[in-house]
Amino acid sequence: MNRLLRRQRELTLNQRDALWGYLFVALPIIGFVVFAAGPILASVILSFAEWDLLRDPKWVGLDNWRQLLTINITEVPQEIDEATGEPLFLCARQKVPESQVAELEGTIDPTTGTKVTCEPRYMRERDVLPEGYRTALELNLSSRHYLIGSRDPLFWEGLYNT
């Protein structure tokens, strides 16, 4: 036993320096693993499960990621007047058939005193996008109106902002 204790005390200077170096580096490494790498790894693993904190996690595989990353691009048709079958326009906050746009555009609106401008009236997003999808982005390209819908538009907005 005495011989073993003497052997431990007989570390060379390089070995003692190496031991102290490992001890100094160990604390930040342990802190990183516990407070950064551990939670990141746990969140990646839990992203493959459905969990509401009240019940046990249920493994769903890639369904969460598929739902998060799926988008739907839809061309939005112009709204049609049921009585005349003409495309509708929005002039001074009123729905107007295409045949009446020419006579209204450029006149002065009596309620606001501003010049009336007419814009095409498009169908609502809930009538165009599949169930569960919300608008992430609206695009007007060469007189066509498009909606890009997703189940989580805030994810795409956050991704764009970063």
Domain segments of the chain as ranges: 2-46, 67-161
Position 66 confidence tier, pLDDT thresholds 50, 70, 90: very high
Which helix H or strand E contains 67, and what residues bound it? Answer: helix 63-69
Position 3 confidence tier, pLDDT thresholds 50, 70, 90: low
In the block, residue with structure tokens 């031991």? 19
CA of 109: how far to CAs of 60, 99, 112, 118, in Å? Answer: 57, 19, 6, 12
pTM over 0.75? The answer is no
The DSSP symbol for 12 reads -
Residue 62, pLDDT > 90, answer: yes
Residue 108, pLDDT > 80, answer: yes
What is residue 61's three-state secondary structure?
coil
Mean pLDDT calculated for residue range 16-25: 92
